[in-house]
Amino acid sequence: MNTERAKKVLLLFRPGMDDPTEPETAASLAQAGADAELADWAREQQHWHESVREQFASIEPPLGLRAQLLAMRPQPESNRWWMQPLWLALPAAAALVIGLFINFVATPKVDNRFPAYRNWMARVALREYRMDLSTNSLPEIRRYLATHRGHGDFSMPAGLRTMPQLGCRVFTWHNHPVSLICFEKPDQELVWLFVTQRGELDGAPPGEEPVFVPVGALATASWSNGNETYLVATKGDLNLVRGYF
């Protein structure tokens, strides 16, 4: 093996990680053992790799990410009503239980708790999405939502009433419709208002008193009004969102 080839092999060799007995690696290591210049070169490369590796290892996730991820855990099976012994004991319900069980097995498990919903909507806001309707007209937005399984009669906190709308979209979350209305702030940053049925969410805010929670780079506020649960989100700190109420 010539020196250049040995260098190519040694460049990719990670001591303690890669197999030193792999024939080409073993030959290159043996060659380095007999060639001081090649051995020095390989040592410098390893030193370099270790220094760079330390930089990758020092990347720290932001505070709160772990908790957000844990909030996304699938719903425990023990909480499912159809798994309770009382129901299982009722012969008349057996067929229904079996049917639901088959449906459950065939369907991906979902978490319909409010924190998971809030996290998901924050991601929707931050990722690329398209508007179903682009317009500055609030009546048009209400009409569109009302005729597309959305929430045309949505209400707004005072701070959003003075902001121009950019458009709206209707999409589904766990098969339930969610309305998204997009607003533009004076600084051209966006504010997103999500509306969905309150009954679809476990642990939705109980009343009209908003709950303020940061989600990544977003500040969010959530509340319920009638049958609907609202979530407003924008980039910035919580004081910004508090000012909308």
Which residues lie near other proteins (CB under 8 A)?
Answer: 4, 7-8, 11-12, 14, 17-18, 41, 44-45, 47-49, 51-59, 61-62, 65-66, 68-70, 72-74, 76-78, 108-111, 119-120, 123, 126-128, 216-217
Least Å from the CB of residue 170 to other proteins: 20
Least Å from the CB of residue 238 to other proteins: 17
Based on CB atoms, which residue is closest to other proteins, 41 or 245? Answer: 41
Six-digit token string for 69: 């991820």
Based on CB atoms, which residue is closest to other proteins, 152 or 236? Answer: 236
Six-digit token string for 197: 């049925």
How far apart (Å, rounded) are the C-alpha atoms in residues 92 and 162? 56
Spatial CA neighbour of 122 closest among 166, 164, 180? 180
How far apart (Å, rounded) are the C-alpha atoms in residues 2 and 5? 6
Least Å from the CB of residue 142 to other proteins: 30
Integer angstrom CA distances of residue 227 from 27, 204, 206 = 72, 11, 11
Least Å from the CB of residue 179 to other proteins: 21
Give the Cα-Cα-Cα angle 138, 151, 145 (nearest 5 degrees).
55
Based on CB atoms, which residue is closest to other proteins, 45 or 135? Answer: 45
Based on CB atoms, which residue is closest to other proteins, 87 or 120? Answer: 120
Based on CB atoms, which residue is closest to other proteins, 53 or 161? Answer: 53
Least Å from the CB of residue 82 to other proteins: 16
Least Å from the CB of residue 108 to other proteins: 4
Based on CB atoms, which residue is closest to other proteins, 1 or 90? Answer: 1
Quickly list DSSP for 98-155.
HHHHHHHHHS-----BHHHHHHHHHHHHHS----SEE-S-HHHHHHHHHHTTS-TT--
How far apart (Å, rounded) are the C-alpha atoms in residues 194 and 209? 16
How far apart (Å, rounded) are the C-alpha atoms in residues 95 and 90? 10
